[in-house]
């Protein structure tokens, strides 16, 4: 195989209220294939199905996608609340140790939205269940109609909604060749306290954390709160992120291939 393989985590979904399934948004797969230049391989976010050692022996990178379910508050020592459901505890049980394993083994890791939040929790950080409830914060959730239904216009839903200030000289600023960007916003939870190895490199205009890296990671280990998978074919910011992720996976793939020769 000439292309690197990037594992894309699944999300639990109940089909027709009775059939358990694992799903991945197609935009994630397209971003990996068309922009990162890799083969996307979905894996189940179910600990009884997915062996992390076997997974990391198979893939050259891991993409932690967004998802409707929140990270369970017990993972950061907070009481759960029905208002903040649904939760996906199987995904928590796979994603959190997987993040640590990726960083320990030097496997390129890219976290988006929920994946970004999982990265923070994996290294001891905490989340707020509704960032918009904090004083002075924006409503970061997706636009809705007056009747509460999700707005039908996808272009409006995924439109850039606020600026992000990047740390001067940081990984994101160097990669994106600028210190201010504009991004979309479709999330409820957000970072409250950064984890021990989490370096904050991007802050929204309301001080919400938007971009992070893992300190002293041997390879690509970045997370973004916005949905970078939506438009990387046309958005230069998101394209640069997926291209860099793909390049890191390709480097690992070449090294692994050479080791088998």
- Residue pair 70/80 in contact (Cβ under 8 Å)? The answer is no
Given the residues 84, 128, 187, 227, the one annotated as active site:
227
Helix/strand/coil for 243: helix
Asked if residue 185 lies in contact with residue 226, where contact means CB atoms within 8 angstroms, the answer is yes
From the list 84, 113, 140, 230, the catalytic residue is: 113
| Omega before residue 62 within 30° of 0, cis | no
Query: Nearest-CA neighbor of 117 among 104, 136, 103, 131?
Result: 131
- Give the active site residue among 130, 187, 229, 230: 229
Bridge-based pairing state of the strands 190-193 and 221-224:
unpaired
Annotated active-site residue 229? The verdict is: yes
CA distances in angstroms from 58 to 18, 51, 61, 201, 256, listed in the order given: 32, 11, 9, 30, 10
Q: Strand (E) positions, the chain?
A: 5-9, 11-15, 19-23, 39-43, 61-64, 109-112, 126-128, 162-166, 180-183, 190-193, 198-204, 209-214, 221-224
User: Which of 55, 52, 45, 51 is CA-nearest to residue 21?
Assistant: 45
Strand partners, 13: 21
Rg (CA), the chain: 17
Active site residue 113: yes
- Cα–Cα distance measured from residue 249 to residue 241, given in angstroms and rounded to the nearest whole number: 12
Backbone angles phi, psi at 6, to 5 degrees: -115, 120
Instruction: Give catalytic residues, as residue numbers.
Output: 113, 227, 229
């Amino acid at each position: 195989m000439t292309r690197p393989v990037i594992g894309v985590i699944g999300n639990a979904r109940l089909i027709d209220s009775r059939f358990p399934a694992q799903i991945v948004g197609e935009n994630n797969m397209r971003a990996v294939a068309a922009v990162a230049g890799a083969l996307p391989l979905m894996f189940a976010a179910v600990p009884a199905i997915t062996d992390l050692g076997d997974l990391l022996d198979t893939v050259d990178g891991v993409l932690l996608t967004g998802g409707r379910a929140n990270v369970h508050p017990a993972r950061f020592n907070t009481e759960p609340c029905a208002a903040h459901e649904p939760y996906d505890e199987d995904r928590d049980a796979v994603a959190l140790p997987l993040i640590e394993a990726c960083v320990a083994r030097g496997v390129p890791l890219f976290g988006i939205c929920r994946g970004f939040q999982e990265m923070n929790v994996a290294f001891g950080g905490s989340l707020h269940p509704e960032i918009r409830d904090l004083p002075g914060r924006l409503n970061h959730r997706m636009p809705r109609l007056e009747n509460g239904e999700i707005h039908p216009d996808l272009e409006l839903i995924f439109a850039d909604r606020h600026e992000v200030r990047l740390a001067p000289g940081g990984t994101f600023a160097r990669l994106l060749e600028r210190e201010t960007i504009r991004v979309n916003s479709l999330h409820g939870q957000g970072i409250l306290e950064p984890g021990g190895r989490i370096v904050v490199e991007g802050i929204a205009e309301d001080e919400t954390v938007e971009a992070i890296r893992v300190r002293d990671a041997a390879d690509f280990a970045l997370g973004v709160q916005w949905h970078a998978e939506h438009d990387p074919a046309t958005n230069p910011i998101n394209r640069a992120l997926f291209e860099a992720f793909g390049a890191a996976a390709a480097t690992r793939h070449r090294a692994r291939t050479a080791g088998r020769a």
